[in-house]
Structure 1
């Protein structure tokens, strides 16, 4: 039986169970072929401190990876946007499945239909400096309220009327069946998401037998257009030397003719740097990586380093 390591949240277990079903029986199997093993992470234990205070990048990842290296599990699944951009010794990113909706979404209190309908001075919750920055660009009058917690906890702030709205990743809402709660889904080319938002990462130990059934199933699960897109986004994040809690956004897609389009933003309180690039030749893993690094270099030359040091959320 395959043992799959996961955080214990409802979303993490839902994502992990979906991956497990793909690996066990091409999506048609049941739980008899796998076991989900809950792993408690620092980010799960500390539910009140802002992510910028408790470590940011890797706060939801390290303990799960430790279980993999210790042989306690055979496979681990992460939300790829939580994964540090540098590789981990002894671990291989074996599959990136097809990406779910990468957009950010607005969940509102009763009577508020979308962002434009929030009253002047309204209160919107998010724990993300990137989301806070873009909300303030769109609506400078809003009060941005730092919040933490799982999806249900964050939605409840709006549903109880404590906040006018909260901003969440559409992917999580869709995976948990909460699509009816989405009041507005932002265009990811305009309200840029976090690098790799909506994508999953499936990791194994790097000594996995490449001829094993698991290795073959992982190869089939990997989705090349998604891998190329998130490779570019994460290469940009790494070149900027910015963590997952920094006010950095990036979104990339592979076009029908196999060209990569990449757009990114770095947000300061008084300055915003947004850049876009397109590849001239069919995309490869190497060219996606290069595209991310090149766009980051352009942004750094325009002053992005100073913006990364600015504080958005208390």
Structure 2
């Protein structure tokens, strides 16, 4: 809802509308209904989008607001993304310890994200990972109740909820975030020219080129919700520099690569994906469809 409120504010500012010109319609996603199992076991990222897709397809709503990192790489042709809002802090925050190194020996770490679990175990194989799902308040309550010693939350989500003081941001040279992390994606029907034009007014071009490159990498890798992959794409001297790491689920194996390319030119992204897959060990390759 915080993301929807921000979207409404930007639309109203761009078009000179009053706030009541845009109606917010709450939709309870399947991903919020089942909290005791990892998403990868119950349907993956589609659990965040299927109710919104249904309502959008039926014309009950004109646009959907998503956390971009929770949207499947391949989307139905009936929808498209006319707008991505300016990217917020893309880092993960560690809650319960001052750093990865400061996590107590043998600590229980709560997360349901394969990337976070594998990346943690790669750095701290002594830790034990347990499933931890729910919104920010739910996960903080579980941590307080002692269900885990530490957990991870997205810095952007905390910022949007006015809780930036929670946790310690993990610097990107040590801890690579998820593809599309920190981005709000706005989707509408592909044949809805009116809504598409209205949303185009709030599209952030610099964020779009980063996001499209990151999603292109995921598509080339053929990953799924089970695939432990971390991606960071950022501007540098007029180009984009992408760093990506693939892991085995237990964190024991890791490969990493980088690429530099012009914004919008995904040849470098495809080359990076091909290189990573060519170097992937069997334990890593098994989680990426295009490997082998």
TM-score, normalised via structure 2 length? 0.91
Give the equivalent residue in structure 2 for 1:252.
233
Distance 1:304 1:258 in 2: 34
Q: CA deviation at 1:293?
A: 2.0
Give the equivalent residue in structure 2 for 1:15.
3
Give the equivalent residue in structure 2 for 1:198.
182
Give the equivalent residue in structure 2 for 1:4.
none
Give the equivalent residue in structure 1 for 2:211.
230
Which range is displaced more, 61-70 or 299-308? 299-308
Deviations 1:72-112 (A, max 9, x none): 0111111111111123122111111111111111111xxx4
Distance 1:231 1:41 in 2: 25
Instruction: Give SS of 1:57's match.
Output: helix
Q: State how 1:56-205 maps to structure 2 within 5 Å.
A: 56-108=44-96, 112-182=97-167, 184-205=168-189
Is the alpha carbon distance of 1:306 and 1:113 closer, same or farther for their aligned partners in structure 2, counting shifts above 3 Å?
Answer: closer
Is the alpha carbon distance of 1:278 and 1:302 closer, same or farther for their aligned partners in structure 2, counting shifts above 3 Å?
Answer: same
Give the equivalent residue in structure 1 for 2:276.
299
Distance 1:189 1:203 in 2: 32
Is the alpha carbon distance of 1:223 and 1:304 closer, same or farther for their aligned partners in structure 2, counting shifts above 3 Å?
Answer: farther
Distance 2:66 2:143 in 1: 27
Q: CA deviation at 1:28?
A: 8.0
Distance 1:33 1:305 in 2: 54
TM-score, normalised via structure 1 length? 0.85
Give the equivalent residue in structure 1 for 2:253.
271
Q: CA deviation at 1:27?
A: 9.2
Distance 2:159 2:137 in 1: 13
Deviations 1:148-173 (A, max 9, x none): 11111111222334422111111111
Distance 1:60 1:92 in 2: 16
Distance 1:59 1:304 in 2: 30
Q: Conserved in 2, the CA contact under 8 Å of 1:105 and 1:167?
A: yes
Instruction: Give SS of 2:48's match.
Output: coil
Q: Conserved in 2, the CA contact under 8 Å of 1:232 and 1:291?
A: no
Aligned length: 285
Q: Which runs of 5+ in 1 are unaligned?
A: 1-12
Instruction: Calculate the aligned-residue CA RMSD, in Å.
Output: 2.0
